Structure 1
Amino acid sequence: MHVSPEAWLITIVVMAAVLIADVVVIGRRPHEPSMKEAGIAIGVFSALAVAFGLGVWYFSGPRFAGEFFAGWLTEYSLSVDNLFIFVLIMANLRVPRELQQYALMVGIVLALIFRGIFIALGAAAIERFSWVFFVFGAFLIYTAIKLYLDYRQHDEDDEVTENAMMRWVRRAFPSTDGFRGTKLTVREAGKRLITPMLFVVVALGSTDLLFALDSIPAIYGLTQEAYLVFTANVFALMGLRQLYFLIGGLLQRLVYLSVGLSVVLAFIGVKLVLHALHEYHLDERWGFSAEIPIWASLTVIIATLAVTTVASLIKSGRDARQQAE
């Protein structure tokens, strides 16, 4: 897939303009979005993603369009799973409801920065070293197993925000006893103090860094086109903060989401390992074709997520009826 420097520049400028406008609006008017506002935003961003994918189909063919849609769906699903952690961060740090949208926007911008760095590093590694597919594949299989084991243990760590970075910030800097709007630092009684909003930003940023370690290898298992990797990640993150408010308690009803994602990540991990075998012509030596076509990957992803969602809603509904009896 050939993407000219001009196309890269236009894509980055347009997406950056959307994010900057969003940040300015939220910074001036932090609030809790209504259901209507959140629904319209998610619909617009989803429509833009679909339109972009159709544009890829028109200019570059169905193969690359399929890779974009598979990457977008996978990254979006991982991002929804990450909302569980965002919910815990907001609850533990007692972020006022009207400030949560601003905090989420900051977290999304940080996620874009970290993912951009990992996308560039991943593209450079893939271009120079074919064996990196073995590493990515093994890491995703490990992540899938860990995700499933965490689900089995029902581990809900209320101290999710207390990572090493957060502990260092708490020890190193004096802070105010409450939020000061969206300000990260304030000067009070002649002293510069940090606010709880800075704790929120640090928690989201350090968590986003860990998220990028999972998401970038996953999408490189579906496409090696850096342009599609970048755009799929951006579209997956757009509208995520509105989704946070729109689905609300629905997050808690998606009880099998981690299981579904573990299946998707394990599938992509195996696909990466098979692709590495193909790169070294080991599949030909052993007498089989190791490449999995993108239509098969897209089918597995959509079917897994659909079954996961339906099964989750059925179980949640059944549990709710049993508790009501």
Structure 2
Amino acid sequence: MTVSPVIWIATIVAIAALLLFDFIFHVRKAHTPTLKEAAIWSSIYVGLAIVFGIGVWVFGGSTMGSEYFAGYVTEKALSVDNLFVFLIIMTSFKVPREDQQKVLLFGIVFSLIARTGFIFLGAALINSFAWVFYLFGLVLLLTAGNLLKPSGHEDDSADNFLIRLTRKIFHTTDYYDGDKLFTLQNGKRALTPMLLVMVAIGATDILFALDSIPAIFGLTQNTFIVFTATAFSLMGLRQLFFLIDGLLDRLIYLSYGLAAILGFIGVKLILHALHENNLPFINGGEPVGVIEISTGLSLSVILGVLIITVLASLLSPKGKALNAITEAKVHAQNYLNPEYTDDPAERARVWDSFVKEEAAIKALPEEKRKFIREEHDFMELLSKAHDEHDRQTAR
């Protein structure tokens, strides 16, 4: 189905309007979203994506509709995985809690722009060179293999090449000046960490696009579906971050689920490439008679893998233990960091969460305590948090 320019323009304007609304009414004024606010707006954005998908199904047909939903679910799952890295980057730069929304929204906008460029580039390559399906399939299989490696998200670093280069070339500060990107230091104009963290997230978004775009092209080659599924998967990601912030570390099997999905799509792409083959050194340049995986089967596999992965993670005793340990460490560090937030309610929330997690850790059986890395330093951190709380309450 060919999508008219009018539909394209209307869709792009609607997405831009949603992003502008998000900035003006939620992000412009620095604050920490409540759980209720995050839940409501996450539901609204998911609802908009579903309504849009139903419209695609009604006006474009069941094939186009199922391609949209398969692409949306896959990209949403990959976006959740990306939140782990966003969290690490913001923690590395010690971004104040109230300003994390602005950083996330920038990441979403930059990601949408970068992925749109990759989408049209990918579409042009596919239309000109059928062998690109082989390349995309190989990229996804390699990505799936990397996700199965034991090294977790904790090994990711915000100190990438661009950040190091920026610090060498430009005058930078070690402190924030509200949410300003530039400030004055000793009479000289300097870059703040707020700009540096945005550069780090922007660079990371480009790497994410190299994985996500081949994945969705493995489900559909309709450029409109690829663009809208990608765009709607990114919408509401900011709210989702605050909604599942405490659950991110519980999803211990998510990388395995994503590896299975990307591997499955990679195989699907290679099968499609064989079916459309024109490379002279494969079957004499003639198409190979292989089965092709339908979009309906793809959607069923993606949903099934995600449901099993999420349930297994949430019900896993190991996941619960790791989550309590990680969150206790994070909340203790945040409570001890005077720059983390100026909001007394947020500090109270952090302390209450810390106390609950500490109680959960004390209740862990001995065999689960092995998940605590550098236990002496960890326990010392918890003790410092208690000392700080005693000092605050004694005032």
Instruction: Specify if TM > 0.5.
Output: yes
RMSD: 2.0
* Letter aligned with residue 154 of structure 2: E
Q: Structure with the greater relative contact order (CA < 8 A, sep ≥ 6): 1 or 2? A: 1
Residue 172 of structure 1, CA deviation: 1.4
Q: TM-score, normalised by structure 2?
A: 0.78
What is the distance in 1 between the residues matched to 2:51 and 2:153? Answer: 39
What is the distance in 2 between the residues matched to 1:75 and 1:137? Answer: 16
Q: TM-score, normalised by structure 1?
A: 0.94
* Letter aligned with residue 162 of structure 1: D
Residue 25 of structure 1, CA deviation: 3.1
Partner SS state of residue 190, structure 2? strand
Q: How do 1:233-312 and structure 2 match up within 5 A?
A: 233-280=230-277, 288-312=289-313
Cα contact 1:253–1:316 (8 A) shared by 2: no
What is the distance in 1 between the residues matched to 2:227 and 2:215? Answer: 13
Picking from 189, 194, 199, the partner of 1:192 is 189
What is the distance in 1 between the residues matched to 2:319 and 2:194? Answer: 39
Identical-residue share of aligned pairs (%): 51
The structure with the largest alpha-carbon Rg is 2
* Letter aligned with residue 300 of structure 1: V
Residue 240 of structure 1, CA deviation: 0.6
Structure 1 residue 165 and structure 2 residue 162: aligned? yes
Structure 1 unaligned spans of 5+:
none
Residue 286 of structure 1, CA deviation: 8.6
| Deviations 1:242-278, CA, capped at 9 Å, x for gaps | 1111111200000000000000000000000000111
Higher mean displacement: 204-213 or 286-295: 286-295
Residue 91 of structure 1, CA deviation: 0.7
Structure 1 residue 118 and structure 2 residue 104: aligned? no
What is the distance in 1 between the residues matched to 2:92 and 2:21? Answer: 29
Residue 318 of structure 1, CA deviation: 6.8
Which residue in 1 is equivalent to 2:353?
none
Partner SS state of residue 31, structure 1? coil
What is the distance in 1 between the residues matched to 2:96 and 2:3? Answer: 43
Cα contact 2:217–2:226 (8 A) shared by 1: yes
Structure 1 residue 80 and structure 2 residue 120: aligned? no
Partner SS state of residue 183, structure 2? strand
Structure 2 unaligned spans of 5+:
322-359, 366-395
| Deviations 1:64-121, CA, capped at 9 Å, x for gaps | 1000000000000000000000110111100000000111001111101100110010
* Letter aligned with residue 294 of structure 1: T
| Deviations 1:146-200, CA, capped at 9 Å, x for gaps | 1111xx2346226x10111011011111122311122111234431111110111
Which residue in 2 is equivalent to 1:89?
89
Cα contact 1:165–1:202 (8 A) shared by 2: yes
Aligned residues: 322
* Letter aligned with residue 324 of structure 1: L
* Letter aligned with residue 74 of structure 1: T
Structure 1 residue 37 and structure 2 residue 37: aligned? yes
What is the distance in 1 between the residues matched to 2:232 and 2:82? Answer: 15
- The change in CA–CA distance for 1:274 and 1:310 in structure 2 (over 3 A counts) is same
Higher mean displacement: 69-78 or 166-175: 166-175
Partner SS state of residue 193, structure 1? strand
Higher mean displacement: 268-277 or 21-30: 21-30
Partner SS state of residue 316, structure 2? helix
Cα contact 1:27–1:182 (8 A) shared by 2: no
Partner SS state of residue 186, structure 1? strand
What is the distance in 2 between the residues matched to 1:310 and 1:195? Answer: 41
Cα contact 2:313–2:319 (8 A) shared by 1: no
Which residue in 2 is equivalent to 1:70?
70
Residue 290 of structure 1, CA deviation: 2.5
Structure 1 residue 181 and structure 2 residue 221: aligned? no
What is the distance in 2 between the residues matched to 1:246 and 1:22? Answer: 16
- The change in CA–CA distance for 1:48 and 1:155 in structure 2 (over 3 A counts) is closer
What is the distance in 1 between the residues matched to 2:168 and 2:312? Answer: 44
Residue 210 of structure 1, CA deviation: 0.3
Structure 1 residue 11 and structure 2 residue 28: aligned? no
Residue 217 of structure 1, CA deviation: 0.3
* Letter aligned with residue 79 of structure 2: S
Which residue in 1 is equivalent to 2:388?
none
What is the distance in 1 between the residues matched to 2:45 and 2:67? Answer: 19
What is the distance in 2 between the residues matched to 1:27 and 1:318? Answer: 32
Higher mean displacement: 23-32 or 236-245: 23-32
What is the distance in 1 between the residues matched to 2:206 and 2:247? Answer: 25
